[in-house]
Amino acid sequence: MTPTRKIIFLLTDIICIAFSLVAAIWLKFNKLEPQHVQYLLFIIPMLTPPGLVCFWTMGLYNRTLRFTSLPDMVAVFTAVTGYSTLKFASIYFMESFPNLSAVFIIDWMLCLILVGSSRIAPRILLNLLELTTVRNWLFSKNNDRQKRVLIVGAGQGGESILREIKRNINLPLEVAGLIDDNPQKQGQIIHGVKVIGNSEKIGTIVRDLMIDEIIIAIPSASGQELRRIVKLCQNTKVRFKTLPGLQDIIGGKLVSLQLRDIAIEDLLRRAPSEINLAEIAAYVTGKTVMVTGAGGSIGSEICRQILPFQPQKLLLLGHGENSIFRTHQELLGNKDTGNTAIIPIIADIQDREKIEHLFAAHRPEIVFHAAAHKHVPLMELNPEEAIKNNVIGTRNLVEASHNAKVERFVMISTDKAVNPTSVMGASKRVAEKILKCFAKRSQTRFVAVRFGNVLGSRGSVIPMFKQQIENGGPVTITHPKMIRYFMTIPEASKLVIQAGSYGKGGEVFILDMGEPVRIVDLAEDLIRLSGLEVGRDIEIKFTGIRPGEKLYEELLTASEGITATRNTKIFIAKAEEVNEEELRAQVEKLEMAAKLGKPRNIIRGFQDIVPSFSPNRDMIHNDKQPRDDRKKEDSQPKLRVI
């Protein structure tokens, strides 16, 4: 409210205060006696300034008139009631003036009506003026027809979108109707717009009402339900948009009319994760936290999720200077940075001496280990690099954490570590075993968190499919029956941090990945969301399973069971026994094979540590068949966490 408007409303309130008291006395006594006038001349000048102070304190002169709503009326009620209480107390000074109690009750009601009306009237006038302007605009611009919109969802999301469209005259939109599958909402009228059918009638309604655009406003819809609605919308050949899901709303990302095109993440929409903020804050706030691989998809997101809990220091450790630079710059501009010292560190976890020096210098109390070589086909071609980074690098960090008496160490693992068929998966399984060994004798709580694919991470199928679609196809898939578990990067990162609060040492936590998704379905959805048709505009080509790949991934070996935690999406795998002396010798042997670059010795080294490892024989020429006497962890039916 501008200074001029504040003055106008100040004068208006003075008139309302004076008039309400005069009118109250008139209504009570049907006349104004000389003693009444004498009282008014005394009480109005004396109590009006305190009344205005009360109004100012309640913020009545700092509110936007265009958006006057219920909270503003509550403020008016509180201010007027406080002022009337002050006037009521003046009775004790006016014993010669009887029946003042009834006068003050009438005065309170009149003052409430007058002051409240002075706040509501401008909004009503503005709305009438806007309505007239819109009508004139419509009649004067017949050639520029407003875009006709159909809103799917008559709940809170649909109501907020409808209200925003009605309020904002700058939006050239006209809501023709609402769609909702709830039978009880059929025929209801919301802000002047009727619920005209369920989702099965979308096609007919779009055609009959000449709809130009569809807005899907069901943030609580599951991925399966949203896919069904999207398919119905796609058949209409008109453009459609959506509101963010509950994950984004809970994260505070939803603002009024924040619409966007449907993304593949929407079609895989999962129920929001239950995150206990108090448990995370208890072990993160005020601590020195190190994140390895901080420039990567998961590592950088862990940094973003940790920052609001205000650690004392956040150490960003990574090998790639560009990615660490980008993460550092982004976090410095984050509103949650506060007093946290964000320190970028360029280092290779394979450099044991450098890692020991960093731990001695910075004394991290919590370590999130997200640095790893993760691309399966590349590690099949370069198995020695998987050993150096995923195994030896992890061992260096674990030993440094143990020596520095780090409180907690959380390693990101993968479902590919279960009954591995790839070098990458086998290397992560060895890393899990290293953690288990140290956990038995260390003060540090070493834990691993095992989960599947994350949407949008660097090198994942989604960015690759999008690039292939932009290039005109074909979209390449290794096998028509290929299925994977998917989780969004923010959800995976939150659950990793939450799991860290549960760890007592040696656990392998498993995240509930939900329902598996066929990669073919994923590709077809992406093609359709791009406004193209499968087969006609973009072809899907099957290239054959790549070295080290499985048709499906698992989260448990047959020898592992699971135990529930306080979080319904986090489980603990049954502990396996690991002989530390034997593992130490086996890892040294594996390290020597990597240094010599002998694939055959590398394979045998992995098989000694992970008997269930079934390597791809085509990648190694002249290699012998695996030994027949090795133990089989996958002799029982394969288990999944669903």
Average pLDDT over residues 99-125: 80
Q: Which pLDDT does position 631 carry in this prediction?
A: 39
Q: Which pLDDT does position 145 carry in this prediction?
A: 58
Structure tokens at 383: 């198995």
pLDDT tens column, 580-638:
889 999 999 999 988 888 888 888 888 889 888 888 655 454 344 443 433 334 333 33
pLDDT(211) > 80: yes
Average pLDDT over residues 36-49: 78
Q: How far apart are CA 602 and CA 624, in angstroms?
A: 13
Q: How far apart are CA 460 and CA 454, in angstroms?
A: 8
Structure tokens at 465: 């499919």
Cis check: omega of the bond before 474, within 30 degrees of 0: yes
pLDDT tens column, 225-237:
877 888 888 888 8
pLDDT(548) > 90: no
Mean pLDDT lowest for which of 21-25, 167-171, 247-251, 508-512? 247-251
Q: Which pLDDT does position 93 carry in this prediction?
A: 58
Query: C-alpha angle 181/186/191, rounded to 5°?
Result: 110
Percent of the chain with pLDDT over 90: 20
For the chain, the domains span 3-137, 147-267, 277-453+486-512+555-619
Q: How far apart are CA 610 and CA 154, in angstroms?
A: 55
User: 515 to each of 231, 270, 413, 462, 641, how far by Cα in Å?
Assistant: 20, 9, 20, 18, 9
More confidently predicted of 295 and 219 = 295
Q: Which pLDDT does position 387 carry in this prediction?
A: 93
Residue recorded with tokens 């009506």: 113
Q: How far apart are CA 256 and CA 243, in angstroms?
A: 10
| CATH 3.40.1160.10 is the classification of domain 147-267 | no
Mean pLDDT over each residue of the chain, to the nearest integer: 79
Mean pLDDT lowest for which of 131-145, 191-205, 286-300, 585-599? 131-145
b/e 225-260 (16+ beta carbons within 10 angstroms → b):
ebbebbebbbebebebbbbbbbbbbeeeebeebeee
pLDDT(477) > 80: yes
Q: How far apart are CA 282 and CA 249, in angstroms?
A: 25
Mean pLDDT lowest for which of 121-135, 361-375, 560-574? 121-135
Structure tokens at 461: 């199928």
Give the neighbor-by-neighbor strand order of the sheet with 260-261: 189-190, 193-197, 173-179, 147-152, 213-216, 239-242, 260-261
467 — pLDDT class (breaks 50, 70, 90): confident
| H helical segments located in 409-483 | 423-439, 461-470
Q: Which pLDDT does position 103 carry in this prediction?
A: 78
Residue recorded with tokens 């130009």: 212
pLDDT(16) > 70: yes
Kindly report the CATH number that applies to the domain delimited by 277-453+486-512+555-619: 3.40.50.720
Q: Which pLDDT does position 429 carry in this prediction?
A: 92
Average pLDDT over residues 38-65: 78
Domains 147-267 and 277-453+486-512+555-619 share a fold: yes
Are the C-beta atoms of 576 and 559 separated by less than 8 Å? yes
639 — pLDDT class (breaks 50, 70, 90): very low
**DSSP reduced 3-state for 230:** helix
Candidates 275, 278, 304; CA nearest to 289 is: 304
Average pLDDT over residues 93-114: 74
249 — pLDDT class (breaks 50, 70, 90): very low
Candidates 528, 545, 544; CA nearest to 536 is: 528
Average pLDDT over residues 535-542: 85
Q: How far apart are CA 388 and CA 390, in angstroms?
A: 6
pLDDT(194) > 80: yes
More confidently predicted of 338 and 328 = 328
b/e 520-542 (16+ beta carbons within 10 angstroms → b):
bebbbbbbbbeeeebeeebebee
**Residue 99, Ramachandran bin (φ over 0: left; ψ between -120 and 50: alpha; else beta):** left
pLDDT(238) > 70: yes
Q: How far apart are CA 288 and CA 315, in angstroms?
A: 8
Name, of 45-49, 250-254, 392-396, 487-491, the range with top average pLDDT.
392-396
Residue type, 463: P
Q: Which pLDDT does position 63 carry in this prediction?
A: 67
Residue type, 263: A
More confidently predicted of 172 and 244 = 172
Are the C-beta atoms of 602 and 591 separated by less than 8 Å? no
Q: Going by C-beta distance under 8 Å and a sequence separation of 6 or more, which residues neighbour residue 635? A: 558
Name, of 21-30, 395-404, 474-483, 600-609, the range with top average pLDDT.
395-404
Q: How far apart are CA 3 and CA 130, in angstroms?
A: 24
DSSP string for 336-378: T-TTPEEEEEE--TT-HHHHHHHHHHH--SEEEE------HHH
Q: What torsion, rounded to 10 degrees, do the Cα atoms 613, 614, 615, 618 define?
A: 170
- The strand pair at 173-179 and 193-197 is best described as parallel
Q: How far apart are CA 133 and CA 282, in angstroms?
A: 56
Average pLDDT over residues 437-463: 80
458 — pLDDT class (breaks 50, 70, 90): low
Q: How far apart are CA 72 and CA 51, in angstroms?
A: 17
Name, of 236-250, 355-369, 460-474, 544-558, the range with top average pLDDT.
355-369
Are the C-beta atoms of 372 and 389 separated by less than 8 Å? yes
pLDDT(242) > 80: no
Q: How far apart are CA 448 and CA 496, in angstroms?
A: 9
Q: Going by C-beta distance under 8 Å and a sequence separation of 6 or more, which residues neighbour residue 540? A: 474, 475, 476, 477, 520, 523, 524, 527, 534
What kind and span of H or E run contains 113? helix 100-140
What is the set of active-site residues?
416
